[in-house]
């Protein structure tokens, strides 16, 4: 089932209208730094989650407000995932830059590396988003394995790769995440053969639990899948 294109993109596109920018410019002169929210701009644009709200505001408010919003989001996610605020900020900023929903971005890093930049898989996938060096060099020529240990570098290339997959599959985030995990070549072959490529990876990213785990819990508590 297709998910909606990331809310960040939709909100940012709508907020680029000149009228909205003019309103924000005026409010920026009156409101204390860091206190202005989407409610000060246009009620019908209010999102359902705070991280998306902050992402939309960052696209148009003055720099001081953007920094405050990023700091607030970083603290929220740092507390939620029990990680350093600096790492939460890196993940959040890279996600917004590549129009990835923060929930998906944090879930992917948790699923891939448990937030450890030193993580290396048996086949050589490296860093926070577990990128293969060859994939990284394709997206950012000249990238070395050592550079993939750097959180900022790894996140930006990793989310750039996910963004390209979301675009490839017409906004189907579930399919894009599956391709991130299994490889787009494998996913395309399975689809061509009329088979479902889903391996439960997307659910693991979004919920923190594998498809197998969910099935076991449902069985344990007498629920039908």
Domain architecture of the chain: domains with CATH: 7-220 (1.10.530.10)
Mean pLDDT for the stretch of residues 100-125: 97
Tens of pLDDT, residues 66-96: 889 999 999 999 999 999 999 999 999 999 9
Active site residue 203: no
Residue by residue, DSSP assigns 156-190 as: HHHHHHHHHHHHHTTT-HHHHHHHHHH-HHHHHHH
Share of the chain above pLDDT 70, in %: 64
The dihedral sign for the CA sequence 76, 82, 84, 89: negative
Question: Is pLDDT at 218 greater than 60 in this prediction?
Answer: no
Reading the block at residue 123, the tokens are 């086949």
- The residue that leads in pLDDT, 131 or 22, is 131
Tens of pLDDT, residues 142-159: 999 999 999 999 999 999
53, 58, 101, 112: the active-site residue? 112
Question: Is pLDDT at 133 greater than 50 in this prediction?
Answer: yes
Tokens 């860093």 map to which residue? Answer: 127
Ranges of H-type helices in the chain: 7-15, 18-30, 50-58, 63-81, 85-97, 102-113, 133-139, 151-168, 173-182, 184-192, 201-207, 211-220
What pLDDT, on a 0 to 100 scale, did the predictor assign at position 92? 97
- The residue that leads in pLDDT, 80 or 16, is 80
């Amino acid at each position: 089932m297709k998910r909606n294109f990331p809310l960040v993109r939709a909100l940012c596109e709508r907020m680029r209208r000149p009228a909205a920018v003019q309103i924000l410019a005026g409010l920026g002169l009156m409101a204390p730094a860091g206190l202005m929210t989407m409610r000060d701009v246009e009620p019908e644009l209010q999102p359902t989650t705070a991280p998306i709200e902050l992402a939309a505001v960052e696209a148009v408010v003055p720099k001081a407000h953007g920094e405050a919003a990023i700091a607030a989001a970083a603290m929220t996610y740092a507390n939620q995932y029990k990680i350093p605020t600096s790492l939460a900020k890196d993940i959040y900023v890279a996600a917004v830059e590549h129009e990835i929903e923060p929930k998906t971005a944090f879930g992917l890093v948790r699923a891939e590396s448990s937030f450890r930049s030193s993580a290396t898989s048996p086949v050589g996938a490296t860093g926070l988003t577990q990128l293969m060096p060859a994939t990284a060099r394709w997206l950012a020529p000249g990238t070395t394995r050592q550079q993939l240990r750097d959180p900022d570098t790894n996140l930006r290339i990793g989310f750039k790769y996910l963004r390209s997959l979301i675009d490839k599959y017409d906004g189907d985030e579930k399919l894009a995440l599956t391709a991130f995990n299994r490889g787009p070549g494998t996913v395309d072959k399975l689809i061509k053969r009329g088979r479902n490529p889903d391996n439960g990876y997307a659910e693991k990213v979004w919920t923190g639990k594998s498809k197998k785990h969910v099935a076991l819990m449902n069985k344990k508590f007498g629920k039908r899948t």
